[in-house]
Chains A and B, each alone.
Chain A
Amino acid sequence: MLSRLVFIPASALKSSGSMGAGLVQASRCLHISPQNQAPVPPLPEKSGKVRHGIIPEEFFQFLYPKTGVTGPYVLGTGLLLYLLSKEIYVVNHETVAAASVGAVLIYAVKKFGPGIATFADKLNDEKAAKVQEVKDTAVNSLTQAIEAEKKEQWRVEGRQMLFDAKRNNVAMILETNYRERLHMVTNEVKKRLEYQVQLQNLHHRMEQEYMVDWVEKNVVKSITPQQEKESIAKCIADLKALAKTTQAKVSL
């Protein structure tokens, strides 16, 4: 009787509907040794269903096949009446005390029960959310890492193109260099050739001049003095004639 009193208040005290789980917890602690059940079976999310806040639903189910729906109620009423009539349970002042205690407790449970239940659920949900957040963050960072990796791979391909372009560049520069040098070589060669040409021209000219000089010298040498006098006299006569014509032109 005393132990039953202990159990029932346990549920009444903290019965946000969680009595079933509480009791199961209590008994489970005694039977488990860690080596036997290495993957721990999950706790039931919702507590065992209770009817009227105290009596578990299984009791009703247990009696259902034999006695139908009204079975447990009849049992309860009959038991109560039996106890009362036979004075096995004497109604005395304690009953009044029990009634008031019961009233206060039921009032408290009805009023604060759901609030406390939501609070406990909120605590649990916060924990779950935290862990979930960790997981989500991990997943996010990993996805980002994957994307970055893909981008890097694309960049590597791009890099090939970059190398090609650079290679082309270098080839062009080499080509340009080569052409320049070719150009330079041509110029130098042309200069050399021109030099030779000039040299030859010079030779020609000098020969010509030397020849002309030689011819002139010979001619001058060959002019005898006789011829010289004749030519001078002729020149004077020409000059006089010219002077006359000029004078005539001037007087006109």
Chain B
Amino acid sequence: FFDQFSLTTFMGIPLIALALTLPWILFPTPQNRCLNNRLSTLQAWFIRQFTHQLFLPINQGGHKWALLLASLLIFLITLNLLGILPYTFTPTTQLSMNMGLAIPLWLATVLIGARYQPNHTLAHLLPVGTPGLLIPILIMIETISLFIRPIALGVRLTANLTAGHLLIQLISTAAFHLLFIMPSVSLLTTTLLLLLTILELAVAIIQAYVFVLLVSLYLQDS
């Protein structure tokens, strides 16, 4: 059952390379026409909406991150949605890849904040208005929470996707085998469908990912 989670080298090419590069075919590049076909229009509209929403709170030099975060969103959404289809491999289920995305980005926000506004960054470690006695403890807690962020980001993504895929696998196996012992199948398949719909909230996971990244960025006031 865990076959799909091993980093296979199928036909000599590590599958992950294929899975990471091929999805870009799906999205047409904007054509610089006034009126495009529906797909391009929708895509352009969606990207613009998302970027606008994402950068409303920041409104500063943080806009440099716009391209990175938007493409990150599209990348992760595509990977996850494609992974729902049968017989596909989802790279984001690999912890290595997710941590590879999480740690550098988080580290970048911390370093940028520390370099340009060290006082401000340190000030974030202590929320306002705490009574004097709690200060040392709170600093510890805030530091720990700061360092746990990348781990949380990566592991959240991995765990959610892996768990989702696994559940689908298990339930579909159960449904399949129970197909020959009729009654329970319908119930199981219904559950399976529901799970699938929810899994199409893999998209939401991606939003969460980028959002948390955004939050740290925003807090660092880059």
When distances are taken between beta carbons in the complex, the residues of chain B under 8 Å from A127 are 34-35
Using an 8 Å CB-CB cutoff, how does the interface string of B77-96 with A read, 1 for contact, 0 for none? Answer: 00001101111100000000
| A-B residue pair count with CB separations less than 8 angstroms | 119
Is B130 part of the contact surface with A, judged by Cβ < 8 Å? no
Q: Are B28 and A29 in contact (CB under 8 A)?
A: yes
- Shortest Cβ distance from B20 into chain A, in angstroms? 12
State the interface size on chain A (CB cutoff 8 A). 44
- A223: Cβ under 8 A from any B Cβ: no
Cα of A121 to Cα of B192 in the assembled complex, Å:
35
Report how far A49 CA is from B84 CA in the complex, Å: 27
The residue of chain B having its C-beta at the shortest distance from the C-beta of A9 within the complex is B85
Chain B residues lying within 8 Å of A119, measured Cβ to Cβ, are: 42
Of B55-63, B111-119, B167-175, the stretch lying at the interface with chain A is: B167-175
Complex Cα–Cα for A119 and B39 (A)? 11
Q: Is B189 located at the chain interface by the 8 A CB criterion?
A: yes
Surface stretch bound by B, among A59-67, A75-83, A91-99, A205-213: A91-99
> B36 on the interface (CB 8 Å rule)?
yes
With A6-B82, A103-B193, A104-B200 already in contact, the answer to whether A93 and B23 are too (CB < 8 A) is: no
**B37 x A21 contact (CB < 8 A):** yes
Q: Are B84 and A101 in contact (CB under 8 A)?
A: yes
Check A43 for interface membership: any CB of B closer than 8 A.
yes
User: What residues of A have a CB within 8 angstroms of the CB of B175 in the complex?
Assistant: 93, 96
Q: Check if A252 is an interface residue, CB within 8 A of chain B.
A: no
CB-based contact B37/A95 at 8 Å: no
CB contact under 8 A between A43 and B33, given known A14-B39, A103-B193: yes
Known: A26-B28, A124-B41. A93 touches B36 (CB 8 A): no
The 8 residue pairs across chains A and B that have the minimum distance between CB atoms = A93-B173, A25-B28, A98-B86, A120-B38, A97-B172, A96-B172, A21-B37, A93-B172
